[in-house]
Amino acid sequence: MTPRRSLPCKNAPAGSPRGMTLGNMREVGVQRLIASCLNDACQHTALIDVSSYPAETEVPYFRSRVVCAK
């Protein structure tokens, strides 16, 4: 049996969420992010205006920065 190794796929779609930046989002006309609370019982969502952040800011950055204000 040959052990399987996972290799990074060169054919991965360009729009994969991992490398998504604000610049990518602006190209498609998106100026704001919707953040939703990690607490399922809360369901609070907030719009974040990201127009003042640099284009190279990665979208996942906001996941750890945004805190539920409810």
Q: List interacting residues with Zn ion (CB under 5 A).
A: 37, 39, 42, 44, 68, 70
Asked if 31 contacts 51 with a C-beta cutoff of 8 angstroms, the reply is yes
Comparing CB distances to Zn ion, the nearer of 55 and 67 is: 67
Least Å distance, CB 4 to Zn ion, is 40
Least Å distance, CB 36 to Zn ion, is 8
Comparing CB distances to Zn ion, the nearer of 31 and 39 is: 39
Measured from the Cβ of residue 37, the count of other Cβ atoms closer than 10 Å reads 16
Comparing CB distances to Zn ion, the nearer of 25 and 37 is: 37
Least Å distance, CB 69 to Zn ion, is 8
Buried b (16+ CB within 10 A) or exposed e, 9-34: eeeeeeeeeeeebbebbeeeeeeebe
